[in-house]
Amino acid sequence: MGEKRRWLALPGLSVIVVFAVAPLFAMLYFSFQGDSPGAGFTLDNYTRFFEKQFYLSLTWSTIKNSIYVTLVSLAVSYPLAYVMAKKLKGARNIVLVLIIIPFFTNQLVRVYSWLIFLQDGGIFESALASVGIVNGPLGLLYTRAAVVIGLVHAFFPYMAITIYLALEKLDNALLEASASLGASKFVTFRRITLPLSRPGVAAGVLLVFVPCLGTFVEPRILGGVNGMVIGTVIEDQFFRIYGWNFGAAIAFILLAMVLVSVSAFSRLGRGESRE
């Protein structure tokens, strides 16, 4: 039965091949093309990227953004997911809906809401000022912190949901057994809960870190003069100067970084669950 139904995957597979794999190879071809007509195969686009120091510092700055966003998302999501999975009963679905709401919001609307919220004289500043925490302009908009806030809001649901699913599968009997054998709550968490939720954490980290590398809308709108990321460079190449070849090369460098992080994070998740 299982053998015979394999053809059911055909429609899905052909969509992937036609709309994802084939264009990917077209882009790969462009990335090895010279800019002058008839230049043929060349590595120039790649060497150009690695020769210029500012492309590398831009890449590092983009990676740092992603790391901060991932860490903040983890710090926010784990406790939330734990409470949802182990403490809440009926309210669970309500919280889940609240987490998913950012998905239903248009990206630009979300970013502009943050712009209005964070700007000097904005809602956030007034709220802090009214309880006497700040005095004068907040200066938060157009900083890296603003970018991280905007990106965490966009991506933390992936983290919260994957961790929640891992924790929900965790059998409560294990926790009760641990307690009955005299383990403190902290030891139970460290020895039982944390290791068993590790695959969920690894998947969540991957789902936040990787898309963060390619975003350019949040950094550009919330990041101010220092809001340039590697995604912006790709966008400029494609839309402003029709530099498809160089743009494609940067896109593949980014893809290589993504593949490296995917393999690293999935090893993290697998390694632990095997123990």
Partner 1 sequence: MRRKPTASYIVAVAMLLFAVLLAGCAGSADGKPVLHIVNWEDYGSDAPAFVAAFEEEYGCKIVNQYMQSEEDLLTKLRTSKPGEIDLCLPNCTILTAAIEDGLLAEIDTGRLKNFDSLFDRFKTQKEVMLNGKYYAVPWVWGATAVAYNTDLVTMPPSSMSVLFDEAYAGKISFRDDYNDAIMAAAIVTGQDPNSPSDMEAIKEALIAQKKLNRNYWETGDEFTKLFTGGQLSVAMMWSGQAASMKLEGEPIAFVVPDDGAIGWVDNWGIVAGTKNEDLSYAFIDWMISKDFQYDWASSGGPAPVNREAADAVDPEYAAAAAMDEASLNKLYFMEYRSDEVKREWNELWTEVKAAN
Task: Give the interface with partner 1 as residue ranges (CB under 8 A).
Answer: 35, 52, 54-55, 57-58, 61, 115, 119-121, 142, 220-221, 224-226, 228, 232-233, 236-237, 239-243, 246
Q: Identify the bridge partners of residue 41 per DSSP, sorted by sequence position.
A: 33
Nearest approach in angstroms of CB 42 to partner 1 is: 15
Nearer to partner 1, 142 or 164 (CB): 142
Read off the tokens for 107.
Answer: 């990206």
Nearer to partner 1, 197 or 237 (CB): 237
3 state DSSP class of 120: coil
Question: Helix crossing, 194-214 with 230-239: angle to 10°?
Answer: 40
Name the maximum alpha-carbon separation found in the chain.
75
Containing H/E element for 143?
none
Nearer to partner 1, 155 or 246 (CB): 246
Nearest approach in angstroms of CB 141 to partner 1 is: 9
Nearer to partner 1, 120 or 171 (CB): 120
Nearer to partner 1, 203 or 248 (CB): 248
Cβ–Cβ < 8 Å for 77, 159: yes
Residue 144: closest CA among 55, 208, 64, 215? 64
Nearest approach in angstroms of CB 241 to partner 1 is: 5
Nearest approach in angstroms of CB 262 to partner 1 is: 26
Nearer to partner 1, 49 or 155 (CB): 49
Rounded to whole angstroms, the Cα distance separating 180 from 98 reads: 36
Alpha helices in 119-184 (DSSP H): 123-130, 144-169, 172-180
Cβ–Cβ < 8 Å for 82, 168: no
Nearest approach in angstroms of CB 225 to partner 1 is: 5
Read off the tokens for 199.
Answer: 């695959």
Nearest approach in angstroms of CB 164 to partner 1 is: 37
